[in-house]
Amino acid sequence: MSTGYVPLDDVSTDAGVATTSKGPGAPRTMADVGLGPEFVSDLLLKMMYTSGARTGQQLAEGVKLPFPIIDELLLDLQQRQLVEVRSTVGASRAGYTFDLPAEGRARAREAMASNQYVGPAPVPLTQYRALVGSQGSRHAHVTRRSVEAGFGWLVLNQETLDEIGPAINSGRSLFLHGESGNGKTAISETIAYLLGGNIFVPYAVEIDGQVMVVYDPLYHRPPDDAGLSVRPGEEGLWRQDADADQRWLCVRRPVVLVGGELTLDQLDLQYDTQTKLYQAPFQVKANGGVLILDDFGRQRVPPRELLNRWIVPLEKRVDFLTLHTGSKFPVPFDALLVIATNIDPKMLVEEAFLRRIHYKILVESPTVEQYERIFERYCAEKEIPYDAAAVRQIYQNFYHAHSIAPRGCHPRDLIDHLLDIAKYLEIEPSLAPDLVDRAGRSYFLDFPTAL
């Protein structure tokens, strides 16, 4: 169950951020923006270079800064003959149409050579670190009641639920281990749902003149309860409150899931030599939410190396990333790390590494009673009349006869097989012994009929 929005605390004004319950407040001056005037001026030049003549209001909306702030920069660019006014509409300069003369286009090309970022003005690293620290996953809170409600769609024993709850409240790390097919991934995703609330993420972050893109529509989804409207023509983006800093987006707590494809280099900045831009790594995109490392031990990188990479972030909540120049800088590591594996943890890493994973929870195979409940629920979902005799048949003919261990995913998979068979035979799906047997033989192995 969602715990609702977690209010943000005020953060240090030294970081250049003024926050309210609605997120970062709109900047009033260039000092509030936190970027050098030349950086923002170059961004305006690149926007006109790539998009053509723009009105003052269009430029302000493009860089997500109030027009009075960028108008000071436009006046300076006009005096330097890098920008000119093509036409005027109305009394306000926000209605003026600005374009690039020859000198302005030459300067814009120089700026594009430095990096090809064109979009909302980045937030400086100091502001990013301050706000992430005030809205991280450790600020979320769950209770036994909310955990039981949130996991109500899964069949888990109370002992497991009572281990999961404190792990979520710790905001640190959680190791889910047990046989494949018993719901570790489903548990991980439900944990993310339980954290609830909304957070703010920037489009991009500025580090020493370099740009790291943070916003990723794959992981940063619009909130369900913020009452924000979609901006026409910009699918996937949505309006903030007028008094908020438009460089930040209100999103649901992100859930980032990575599996066997993960490599060590993906945990550092991804630099594009063509655009000269950086993509934030998975753990940065997961800040404030949940980072799920699924199928741990199946990655191409040895488990020890992977955990060694995260020793400092797990303990200090700070990670260090490296620019292509070799310069390192700190970023918050403020995601709840959930590691799921079906390999014995002691075979993967040493005890010293396991100590840094604060909670270890065994996800066991279902008991007969739990199996029956899962089977009955899935029958109800698929509108198939439940018959306990079908479960007894499966246990007798497959689990007992062929020494197969039951898994939590088996009821779903067996019923799906049964539905496929019934559709093929053009008959009404049911738990008839013949259909149950056919489903079992096609799912487990090509066993001889055992009825």
Spatial distance between the Cα atoms of 182 and 244, rounded to a whole number of angstroms? 44
Spatial distance between the Cα atoms of 119 and 121, rounded to a whole number of angstroms? 6
pLDDT at 351 (0 to 100): 73
* 52-58 long-range contacts, CB within 8 A, separation 24+: 52/99, 53/86, 53/97, 53/98, 53/99, 54/97, 54/98, 54/99, 55/89, 55/94, 55/95, 55/96, 55/97, 55/98, 56/92, 56/93, 56/94, 56/95, 56/96, 56/98, 57/94, 57/95
Q: Which of 251, 252, 250, 253 is nearest to 241 (CA)?
A: 250
**What are the extents of the domains in the chain?**
36-119, 126-362, 368-443
What tokens does 263 get?
């490599």
Pair type for strands 328-332 and 248-252 = unpaired
pLDDT at 447 (0 to 100): 52
pLDDT at 240 (0 to 100): 62
What tokens does 139 get?
């600020």
pTM over cut 0.85: no
Q: Is 440 exposed, middle or buried (0-12, 13-18, 19+ CB in 10 A)?
A: buried
Q: Which of 293, 304, 308 is nearest to 260 (CA)?
A: 293
Q: What dotted CATH number matches 36-119? A: 1.10.10.10
Report the CATH fold assignment for 126-362: Rossmann fold (3.40.50)
pLDDT at 451 (0 to 100): 38
The structure tokens 């889910």 sit at 176
Spatial distance between the Cα atoms of 56 and 249, rounded to a whole number of angstroms? 22
pLDDT at 19 (0 to 100): 46
Residue 376 phi/psi, 5° resolution? Answer: -65, -40
User: Helices in 20-157 by DSSP H: which ranges?
Assistant: 30-33, 37-51, 56-63, 67-79, 102-114, 125-134, 144-150
pLDDT at 188 (0 to 100): 83
Q: Which of 363, 366, 360 is nearest to 409 (CA)?
A: 366
Per-residue pLDDT of the chain (451 residues; tens, 9 = 90+): 333 223 333 333 334 444 445 678 999 999 999 999 999 999 999 999 999 999 999 999 999 999 999 999 999 999 999 999 999 887 789 999 999 999 999 999 999 999 999 999 999 999 999 998 787 666 668 899 999 999 999 999 999 999 999 988 887 788 898 888 898 888 988 887 888 778 899 999 999 999 999 999 999 998 865 444 434 334 344 556 778 999 999 998 888 988 877 888 889 999 999 999 999 999 999 998 889 888 887 777 787 788 778 878 888 889 999 999 899 999 999 888 888 888 877 777 777 677 777 788 999 999 999 999 999 999 999 999 999 999 999 999 999 999 999 999 999 999 999 999 999 999 999 999 999 999 999 999 755 444 3
Spatial distance between the Cα atoms of 251 and 228, rounded to a whole number of angstroms? 11
pLDDT at 171 (0 to 100): 78
pLDDT at 6 (0 to 100): 30
Spatial distance between the Cα atoms of 83 and 340, rounded to a whole number of angstroms? 55
pLDDT at 225 (0 to 100): 54
Q: Which of 383, 402, 386 is nearest to 436 (CA)?
A: 386
What tokens does 399 get?
């689990």
Spatial distance between the Cα atoms of 296 and 324, rounded to a whole number of angstroms? 29
pLDDT at 386 (0 to 100): 96
pLDDT at 396 (0 to 100): 96
